[in-house]
Structure 1
Amino acid sequence: MLHLRLITPADRTAEVLGLLEKTVGTAHLAVVPGAARDPQGDLVMCDVAREAGDELLAGLRDLGIDECGSVAVENIDLSMSHRAERAEKAAPGEGADAVLWEQLTDATHEESTLSVTYIAFLTLATMIAACGVVLDNAILIVGAMAVGPEFGPLAGFCTAVIRRAPRLAMRSLVALIAGFAAAMLVTVGFSLFMDAVNLFELSMLKAERPNTSFIYNPDWFSFVVALLAGTAGMLSLTSSKSGALVGVAISVTTVPAAANAAVAFSYSYYGQAWGSTEQLLLNLLGIVLAGTLTLLAQKFFWAGKRRRAAPVETG
């Protein structure tokens, strides 16, 4: 269930209540007239089944409540109410399958911001991965994958494509390109420093690395895994199963590939640098393709659910 807290101008409250009352899956409707001070208006609260939330939020936006008032949405972890149970049964579909497009857009917009924190995490992850590829240490590679924040901009780009939001798409693309460019540039300097203090050597990069050689040898399996990870990642975001994102992060080779390319470039070992770059681009392409197709499939799935659940008008 979701909890909605609305601030509506007094002259718009009746419209909002009409929308809430006719939406299948709502419960616990409460109105406190004149309670809001900034902006002035009435406080309206209700609970709604997650599977009915996206349609309701779209209706509130159509009424302009996001402009003249306020719309806040919270997840309800526990609701002990027979009315809530009836509302969830009445709403079409399952809550775990529902997509809240407004929430997804807001979350990916925040995760796609080119901030100091984002660049710091991506840079640190790339440097950890650099140590992992030189030492052929799979544990360090997995740790670097988990630290990397690059799935945020990737998810933002997929969402922007489906919602036809060019500003979000450009924001995500800038964060992705600039973030990896900065991380790889710093990692080149880090590699040169580690070489200067005799912790990195070219021979270590050229040696057989059974645990990490896949990073600079892309193949069809790399693309298939990226497709699977992109699908799982988008499903975890849309269903609020955020724990699955950790598994997604350690399934793809974006950060390790960027790290290996940076280290190889610092030694002018261009063959391995290009192979790593191919791996990076292949993973990014697979994730974006799978994420976009997953969102598109969910969009059509829920559109069909709504059409089947809509009451048939008889003349």
Structure 2
Amino acid sequence: MLHLRLIVPADRTDEVVELLERTAGTAHLAVLAGAARSPAGDVVLCDVAREAGDELIDALRGLGIDRTGAITAETMDLTLSADADEAERQAPGAGADAVLWEELTEVTHEESVFSATYVAFLGVAVMLAACGVMLDNVILIVGAMAVGPEFGPLAGISTALVQRAPRLVAASLWALIGGFAVAMVLTAGFAWLMDALGLFHAGMVTAHRPNTGFIWHPDGLSFVVAILAGVAGTLSLTSAKSGALIGVAISVTTVPAAANAAVAFSYQDLTQARGSTEQLLANLGGIVLAGTLTLLVQKALWGRQRRTDPAVKPGPSR
């Protein structure tokens, strides 16, 4: 269930309440007259089944409530109510299949900001992966992959392409490309520092590395894994099952490939640097392609569901 908190101009409250009452999947409607101060108006509270949430939010935006008041939605982890059970039964479709496009756009936008924190996480992840590839240590590689925040901008690109939001595409691309560029430069400097301290040496780059040598040997399977990871990651975002993102993070070699490219370049091993870069690009491209196709399929399927069994019923003729 979702909990909606609306601030509605007093002269629009009846219209909004009528909309909520004729929407399948709503429960626990409450109106607090004159409770809102900024912006001024009434506060309308309502719970709605997730599968009806996207259509209801679209209808509220169609009434202009996002401009004249406010629309806030939050996920409810536990609701004990016979009315809520009945609302979920009446709502069309299944909650796990529903996509809240406004929520997805907001989440991916927040994760696609080129910020100091984002660069710090990505830089630390790539440097950690650099230690992993130099030591041929899989544990360090897995840890670095889990730390990396790069799936946010990748999901942002896919979402923006499907929603036709060019500004979000540009912001996500900047976070992705700029973030990896800064992280790789920092990692190259990190490698030089570690070499000066005697902790890294050129022999570690050229040594036989059975556990991590695949990082700079991209093949068709690398792209297939990226496709599968992109599908799983996108489904985890749209279904609010964020725990699956950890599995996605440690199944693709974006961060390790960037680390190996930076370290190899610092030791002038251009063959490894080129192979690692190809691996990085294959993984990034595969995830974006899979994410975009997954969202397009979800949008088409849910759109057909809404047309055949809409949650928001037509209002009375005036």
Indicate the TM-score class for this superposition, using the shorter chain for normalisation.
over 0.9
After superposition, where does 1:217-296 map in structure 2 within 5 Å?
A: 217-296=217-296
Q: Distance in 2 between matches of 1:160 and 1:76?
A: 27
Q: Aligned to 1:78, what secondary structure does the other structure show?
A: coil
Q: Which residue of 2 aligns with 1:141?
A: 141
User: Unaligned stretches of 5+ in structure 2?
Assistant: none
SS in 1 for 2:173: helix
Match of 2:104 in 1: 104
Q: Secondary structure at the match of 1:132?
A: helix
Structure number with higher relative contact order (C-alpha < 8 Å, ≥ 6 residues apart):
2
Q: TM-score, normalised by structure 2?
A: 0.97
1:191 maps to: 191
Q: Which runs of 4+ in 1 moved over 2 A?
A: none
2:21 is equivalent to residue 29 of structure 1: no
Say whether 1:2 aligns with 2:2: yes
Deviates more, 1:282-291 or 1:20-29: 20-29
TM-score using structure 1 length: 0.98
Map Cα deviations across residues 271-315 of structure 1 (whole Å, 9 max, x no partner): 000000000000000000000000001001101111221489xxx
In the TM superposition, what is the alpha-carbon distance from 1:266 to its structure 2 partner? 0.2
- How many angstroms does 1:62 deviate by? 1.1
Structure 1 residue 49, shift from structure 2 partner:
0.2
In the TM superposition, what is the alpha-carbon distance from 1:26 to its structure 2 partner?
A: 0.6
Q: Does 2:307 match 1:307?
A: yes
Give 1:64 shift: 1.1
Mapped partners of 2:129, 2:78: distance in 1: 40
Q: Which amino acid in structure 1 is aligned with residue 130 of structure 2?
A: A
In percent, how many aligned pairs have the same letter?
68
Q: Distance in 1 between matches of 2:112 and 2:97?
A: 24
Q: What is the correspondence of 1:77-116 to structure 2 with a 5 Å cutoff?
A: 77-116=77-116
Q: Any idea what the Cα deviations from partners look like across 1:123-148, whole Å, max 9, x if unmatched? A: 00000000000000000000000000
What SS is found at the alignment partner of 1:3? strand
Partner of 1:121: 121
Give the drift of 1:74. Answer: 1.1
Distance 1:281 1:24 in 2: 45
CA positional deviation for 1:201: 1.0
Deviation at 1:60, TM superposition (A): 0.9
Give SS of 1:171's match. helix
> SS of 2:44's equivalent?
strand
Amino acid at match of 1:305: Q
Unaligned ranges ≥5, structure 1: none
Letter in 1 for 2:186: V
Please report the RMSD computed on the Cα atoms of aligned residues, expressed in angstroms. 1.0
1:155-194 aligned at under 5 Å gives the runs: 155-194=155-194
Secondary structure, counterpart of 1:31 in structure 2? strand
| SS, match of residue 199 in structure 1 | coil
Amino acid at match of 1:156: G
SS at 1:268 equivalent? coil
- Measured after TM superposition, the shift of residue 227 of structure 1 is 0.2
Letter in 2 for 1:113: V
Q: Number of residues paired by the alignment?
A: 312
| Distance in structure 1 (CA, Å) of the matches to 2:300 and 2:214 | 37
Judge which range, 88-97 or 257-266, deviates more.
88-97
1:207 matched residue in structure 2: 207
Instruction: Give distance in 1, aligned partners of 2:42 and 2:7.
Output: 6
Residues 143-152 or 67-76, more deviating: 67-76
For the residue of structure 2 that corresponds to 1:211, the secondary structure is coil
Aligned to 2:76: 76
Q: Could you tell me which amino acid in structure 1 is paired with residue 294 of structure 2?
A: T
**How much does 1:19 deviate?**
1.3
State how far apart, in whole Å, the 2-side matches of 1:153 and 1:62 are.
29
